[in-house]
Structure 1
Amino acid sequence: MTLTDAIKRTVTEKLQQSSTIAKDEVLESVENIGGGCISDAYLCTSSNGKQIFVKTCESSPKQTLDEVVEMFGSEAKGLKALDDTHTIRVPTPYVYGALDNDNYGFLAMEYISLGSKYGASGVQRKLGEQLADLHLAKGPGQFGFECDNTIGSTPQVNTWCPDWIEFLRRRLAYQFDLASSRYPQLNKPAQQLLDKLDTYFEGLDIRPSLNHGDLWSGNWAVDDNDNPVILDPAPFWGHSEADLGIMKVFGGFDSNFYDAYHAKIPKEPGYQKRVNIYALYHTVNHLNMFGSSYLSSSMSLLSQILQ
């Protein structure tokens, strides 16, 4: 069975079972529309003209089929959590599982026709306002998430914790431990940061905010009505400033975004060093995934934080 046939058969069956499509409706066309470093993407069209976005990922010696399905399950739960806040648009997840060919996992979700975010009037301001609304949405009284997920290809443990600093310390330590043998020059400053992490949060009352978790410039877009859409999340309930860390690393967000965001969630003392800490989490993660090209930026951030 070809991959296209497996998508048509398995995803049709799952969508019918979930009542996303009618019992007599089937996926008729499957068009490969690219993908990222982990998954491939397909635009599927049903016999009634409904468009479905499907991501697939092949199992490998490094990632079993069960692990692929678990990855997509985590993504579906993350999308639903974001969607449930009714603050910013995300694709609604439909179904996930394993394709009939036994080698691929899949996630089917709402297809959103995307326009150009460059030049769209007021879209950065809207994104700032809506991200702040997401961070202000009412949530649980602790930090973490209902399931573990991944940040890129790196596991991201989301075990619930009542204390943000402890949760963050565990998360940073995990990345530092992964890097320690290949990049020993990180070890001393990284330990210094972990030892004094509390000092960067003195006087703050941190409430759990739902973070997208991986909001770089490639993970947001606009729909046909110039409304922001956020994609490919790695969510958790954490400090509202945490989402701003990866934005600092990769840029793409202008003053209209930050002005609108901070009008709803003002900066607090020590903001810049904390954002550097959150940025460091992502640069070390990229160091672990992609190698030494991210060593300099990681060392520079550590130096700025500790000075």
Structure 2
Amino acid sequence: MNWAAFEEKLAPSLGETLHIEGAKSVMGGDICKAFELHTSQGKFFLKTHSLSFYDLFQAEQFNLQALAETNSIAVPKAIASGTFDKQAWLLLEFIDMHDSGDDFQRGRDLALLHHHVNDSAKPFGWSHDNFIGLTPQHNTWHSDWIEFYREMRLKPQLRLAAQRGMANHVIEKAWQLIDKIEFWFRDYQPQASLLHGDLWGGNSAFSRDGDALIFDPACYYGDHETDIAMSELFGGFSAAFYAGYQDVFPLDHGYPQRKPLYNLYHLLNHYNLFGGHYQQQAESLIQTLLAQAK
């Protein structure tokens, strides 16, 4: 990266002349290159990738700004995104992140986020399509949550899994499951809560002061249980987190039965991204769900 030339690219977003004094390569997730920028205006966090990531970075910037506007749970401030020197980039506030902090309050903060609901005629969806990992995530507005989850979440991942070589018998069982999806909503009609959308332990941390943060979102309005279900899928959240959440937004008694249905979306996506044993995990969830629906 030509840092001297990049300074001029950043200047309009930061409101004054910026001098980059140093750039330290840091961990930026599994995909992007990332840098801790030391500048005349302090530290910033910069993510870069190929030009094909421009839409992804724009979506991330929009989502972080939407989450920040709720004043519920902290997120890194998204400053700007763009392209430069055949690369896409996203500039964020730099936060010194840590693994430990007040997990009870983190649960409460997430519950406060989920209390931001959309009460329009078609409340489920999002104003922009975005990404779940590297997979496009379509968010066309729907009036009905079941229809949205079936058409915008499960079916696209299942079609992609078939293209990626998932075993036919697993695909067939999954389609049987989709035909029975109403079973899990016989006495449950969720509100359209503002969601993080990709809430695993690697997308949440604490500041130096112990305050909770979330980042790398895949936002939309949907059932708040989906965020909680994913938080349990890969771990990283303590019992105190769930106690804090329940203190503000108690889960419906049917959540344990819906949890595997919601996590199926993420397991199918992980199969589509990484292959391997995620097929077996998805098949196991499908069998569990079909057994419930008998």
Separation in 2 of the partners of 1:76 and 1:276? 30
Counterpart residue type for residue 98 of structure 1: T
Per-residue displacement from partner, 1:133-171 (whole Å, max 9, x unpaired)? 000024352111121111111111111112111110011
Separation in 1 of the partners of 2:208 and 2:119? 33
**Secondary structure of 1:31 counterpart:** strand
Q: Does structure 1 residue 94 correspond to structure 2 residue 69?
A: no
* TM-score in terms of structure 1 length: 0.89
Separation in 2 of the partners of 1:135 and 1:277? 19
Match of 1:51 in 2: 43
User: Is the contact between residue 229 and residue 260 of structure 2 (CA under 8 Å) also seen in structure 1?
Assistant: yes
**Secondary structure of 1:35 counterpart:** coil
User: Is the contact between residue 245 and residue 280 of structure 1 (CA under 8 Å) also seen in structure 2?
Assistant: no
Counterpart residue type for residue 32 of structure 1: S
Q: CA deviation at 1:285?
A: 0.7
Q: Does structure 1 residue 248 correspond to structure 2 residue 232?
A: yes
Q: Does structure 1 residue 25 correspond to structure 2 residue 4?
A: no
**Secondary structure of 1:168 counterpart:** helix
- Cα distance change on mapping 1:263 and 1:191 into 2, 3 Å: same
User: Is the contact between residue 284 and residue 298 of structure 1 (CA under 8 Å) also seen in structure 2?
Assistant: yes
| Equivalent of 2:65 in 56, 74, 80 | 80
**Superposed CA RMSD:** 1.5
Q: Does structure 1 residue 134 correspond to structure 2 residue 113?
A: yes
Separation in 2 of the partners of 1:42 and 1:21? 21
**Secondary structure of 2:213 counterpart:** strand
**Secondary structure of 2:178 counterpart:** helix
Q: Does structure 1 residue 179 correspond to structure 2 residue 161?
A: yes
* TM-score in terms of structure 2 length: 0.92
Gaps of 5+ in 1: 59-64
User: Is the contact between residue 25 and residue 36 of structure 2 (CA under 8 Å) also seen in structure 1?
Assistant: yes
Q: CA deviation at 1:8?
A: 4.5
**Secondary structure of 1:52 counterpart:** strand
Percent identity for Structure 1 against Structure 2: 36
Separation in 2 of the partners of 1:284 and 1:260? 29
| Equivalent of 1:192 in 176, 182, 185 | 176
Per-residue displacement from partner, 1:237-285 (whole Å, max 9, x unpaired)? 1100011222222012221111111222222132112111111111111
Separation in 2 of the partners of 1:47 and 1:110? 14
Gaps of 5+ in 2: none
Match of 1:237 in 2: 221
Across the two proteins, how many residue pairs are aligned to each other?
286
- Cα distance change on mapping 1:278 and 1:38 into 2, 3 Å: same
